[in-house]
Each structure stands twice: as C-alpha cells, then as structure tokens.
Structure 1
C-alpha cells in the first residue's frame, strides 16, 4: 500500500453513493488520489463503468438505487466481501426535480423523499455494522436547507432533513468516535441541472446564469471544489469537527 505522507486517506476504505457523475464521481476520484480504495454505487451501469474507467484504480462498482433497501444490502455485501470494513461513507446520492407546490404530484414528492431522506437514512444505518470506530460519515445536503427555493420545496425540505440527520447521528455515534457532518453545495457545474431536474437545455442554461447572479463569487462551483471539501471532512485533518454543515457555495446562502 502506498503510504505517501502526502496522502490524507492512505489505505482507507470509502463508500460513495451517487458516484457515477458530478460531485460523487469527482469526490471518489479525489479519495483515490488521497490513497483510499473506493466502492461507488449508482443506478446506471453504463455510467458506473465509465466512472470506474475515469477513476482508473482502486475502485469497485456496484449498481444500485439507494431508495431500495435490497440494493443497499447488496452494496454492503460487496464491501464486506472485498474489504471487510468501511472507514469513510459519502452518502451523496440525491434527486431534485422542479415542481411548484400547486401542481406537484405524489410521485414527485415520494421520489424526492425516497432518495434524499429514506435513501440516506438506510445508507448510513446499513453501513454501521461494517464501520470502523473513528470513521467519518459525510452527507450531501444543499444550500436549499436554509433557503426558500420556489419550485423546489420538496427537495429543499428533504435536504433540511439530511442536515438534521448529521446532528442526531453525531450524538448517536459519538461513543464509536464516528464523526458525522453534512456538506451543502451551492449550484455546481454538473450534468444534473440538465439531466435530472426536468428543465430543458435552454432553461438549464438560464437557471445557471440566474444562480450566478445570486452568488457573491459570481459563478457556479466545480465538482472538484466540492471534492476537496469532502476529502477534508473525510480525513483526520477535520478530527475535531462533527455535526456541522459545511457550505461550499461561493457565499450563496451566507450573505
């Protein structure tokens, strides 16, 4: 094993959900660069294979949907068989589609909460038997956990729930010295804006431009800028940090 002094996560075993694109992929790659072995999961096999090719080394893929408990069981069976334990969990899989309150459907609401709330809850619960004491759990929340975002109220509420999970689980897991933090991205330049929100390409471009005007830094963030922050929360560099919400948002929700 390469225990280079510069590697913050040398020899660690990390699990990343929603690891096939965007923030999850950038973070999984960063984890490997920092010396970790990663297991990534996502719903689409083709994208997962492409992600593994991009990461190149020390990566295992497991196809699965975090809102399906049997898929989570399969994920952790693979982790257990291959590595035997977990040091780091990045519960990142999430979904956010636009739907105004007046017209939102039950299916929209259920999908949002099944992935973002139930999915995160059981992703963490089912990881615990494999977790090494002293490990780190990072949950992907969103700046929407404190903002009013018209058209995204179910999404924002689901992300506020994730923020609270970090608080409660910090207390529940403290005796095992497992740190739990949430990380709240602002608008990040990922494929999700065009592929999962229900916006057309033109609407997505307008939304991105609109976001930029609301951000003190005047631009969307890059997935790699999120990955750096998550790697910090995953590593011993953040050894006295637990229960926080680390906003990585160019100042969007801060001013």
Structure 2
C-alpha cells in the first residue's frame, strides 16, 4: 500500500457510512495523519470513529447548517491543523414526484446537496492549504433525466458545475477541484434515502447487470479509490473534471 497521504490531513463530510466511510478508511490506510469525518447522526459517527481509530476525528453536524459548518472550521483551527484535502461528499438521494413536490422536499434535497456542498467548501477555504485538493461527490444522474428524481438529478448537476467554476476560482491558490460521479453503488442510501425494498434492490441490481458493461453494482471502496486518485499528487495535472465510476453504465 502506498503512502500518498503521509502526514496529510483530510476532511470527509458524510464520512460515517458508505462512500464517505470507505474514503476516510482509505485516506488513513495510505498514511493520513488525521481525517475529520462528519455526520448528522451521532450514533453512526461514533461507530465509524471507533472503527477508524485514533486518527479519525468525528464532528457531528449538518452540512445544510452554516452554524454547524462554522463549528467544524473552528474545530480544525483549534486543533492547529490545515487541510490538504476536502472531500465534500455528504448528500441525500430521495424521490420526488414532479407535480406534487412540496417546498419542504425541495428545501431538504437542494439544501443538503447544493447549499451544503457550496458552503462546506466556502467555509473551509481558510483552513485549506494552497496547493490542496477538493473532491465533490456528483453522480451520473447529473447528465440523465431519471424519473421521479428531478431534484436529486438537478442537485448533482449543480455539484458538477461547481467543480468547473471552482477550478477557475481557486487556480491562484493552486487548489485543484474535481468531481467523482458514482454509478449505482451499494450504500445505505438504497434503504435510508430511496426507501427501496429488498425486491426493488434486487431489481435494480438486475438492471445494472444487463445495462452496464461491467455487469454489477459498485461497492463503496471502488468509488473511494477514484476519490483518492483525484485527491492525490497522481492527479496533479487534473482539475475541473468529472470522473465517472459507474461500470460504464452512463458511458456506452
């Protein structure tokens, strides 16, 4: 195993489960001195931190709350740290029926997936080192029109757009900004967000088997590998891109 992140400090929002947890685990495995992880759930956060060990710093908070984000920034400052990597990963995937979508549904999905990503990165800019890396979690749905997911689709298109613009906004500081766009990945969002039954999950997996060239659903560690690539010096000449990690589902 390489030590691409030896003595570096990373921050992962939504780092207690799924892709975020897999990324935090991988940063530590590759030598990170400290990895901050966030979650809205204290229970899942504590469980993740216990598994990750002493170099993981859990900070409970909601990325849609500017107060929570400011508290996160102050935690990094009080620890005397500077971040080398921000992985703005926290998000929700929920259905909305166009025609009957409520304002509360709109505010929740856009608040977490768009506002949350925007203010996560903006709030943490003062504690991000020049020459650092930002990775955003978008999705292959940013370029598709999947039914009953118009808010989720649009939110991920906004995140993809942030990567393009921020690559220019932050170029004077040498900060690279890229987006990773997972395909169908086996995470708790299937149940907690999309509320899929076991039968529906199996149907989704069957669809991917038929439609994606690699013929299967991804596991979080496979997405995390792409995140670490974009965050590392291996991607030193890459900024503003969207890296799709989807088994070819949206590519061919």
Inter-CA distance 211–152: structure 2 relative to 1 (3 Å threshold): farther
**Counterpart-to-counterpart distance in 2, 1:161 and 1:235:** 24
- Cross-structure match for 1:173: 170
How does the TM-score come out when normalised to structure 2? 0.96
List runs of 5+ in structure 1 lacking aligned partners: none
Inter-CA distance 213–100: structure 2 relative to 1 (3 Å threshold): farther
Residue 95 (1) aligns with residue 92 (2):
yes
**SS of 1:164 mapped into structure 2:** helix
**Counterpart-to-counterpart distance in 2, 1:57 and 1:244:** 33
1:153-164 superposed matches below 5 A: 153-164=150-161
Q: CA RMSD in A?
A: 1.3
Inter-CA distance 83–216: structure 2 relative to 1 (3 Å threshold): farther
Which of 14, 17, 30 matches 2:13?
Answer: 17
* Residues 116 and 158, structure 1, Cα contact 8 Å, conserved in 2: yes
* Residues 42 and 62, structure 1, Cα contact 8 Å, conserved in 2: yes
How far the C-alpha of 1:54 sits from its partner, in A, is 1.7
- Cross-structure match for 2:23: 27
How far the C-alpha of 1:79 sits from its partner, in A, is 1.2
How does the TM-score come out when normalised to structure 1? 0.95
Moved over 4 A (4+): none
Which of 132, 136, 149 matches 2:133?
Answer: 136
- Which piece of structure 1 moves more, 45-54 or 175-184? 45-54
Residue 7 (1) aligns with residue 3 (2):
yes
1:46-195 superposed matches below 5 A: 46-195=43-192
**SS of 2:37 mapped into structure 1:** strand
- Cross-structure match for 2:195: 198
